[in-house]
Chains A and B, each alone.
Chain A
Amino acid sequence: DTGVSQNPRHKITKRGQNVTFRCDPISEHNRLYWYRQTLGQGPEFLTYFQNEAQLEKSRLLSDRFSAERPKGSFSTLEIQRTEQGDSAMYLCASSFSEAAIQHFGDGTRLSIL
Chain B
Amino acid sequence: ILNVEQSPQSLHVQEGDSTNFTCSFPSSNFYALHWYRWETAKSPEALFVMTLNGDEKKKGRISATLNTKEGYSYLYIKGSQPEDSATYLCAFTGNQFYFGTGTSLTVIP
A: which residues have CB within 8 A of B? 4, 33, 35, 40-45, 48, 56, 58-59, 91, 93, 98-107
Contacts and interface: CB of A to CB of B under 8 A. Distances in A.
Name the prevailing secondary structure of the A interface residues.
Answer: loop
B108 interface: no
Interface residues of B, number: 22
A45 B95 contact: no
10 contacts: A42-B99, A43-B44, A45-B98, A45-B99, A58-B96, A91-B43, A98-B32, A98-B93, A99-B31, A104-B45
Interface of B: 1, 31-32, 34, 42-46, 49, 51, 89, 91, 93, 95-102
A40 B104 CA distance: 10
A100 B49 contact: yes
Nearest to A103: B46
A42 B93 contact: no
A33 B97 contact: yes
Nearest to B49: A101
Given A42-B89, A59-B1, A107-B43, A99 B99 contact: no
Contacts of B96: 45, 48, 56, 58
Given A98-B93, A99-B93, A41 B101 contact: yes
Nearest to B90: A42
Contacts of A91: 43-44
B97 A42 contact: no
Contacts of B42: 106
Contacts of A58: 1, 96
B51 A56 contact: no
B44 A104 contact: yes
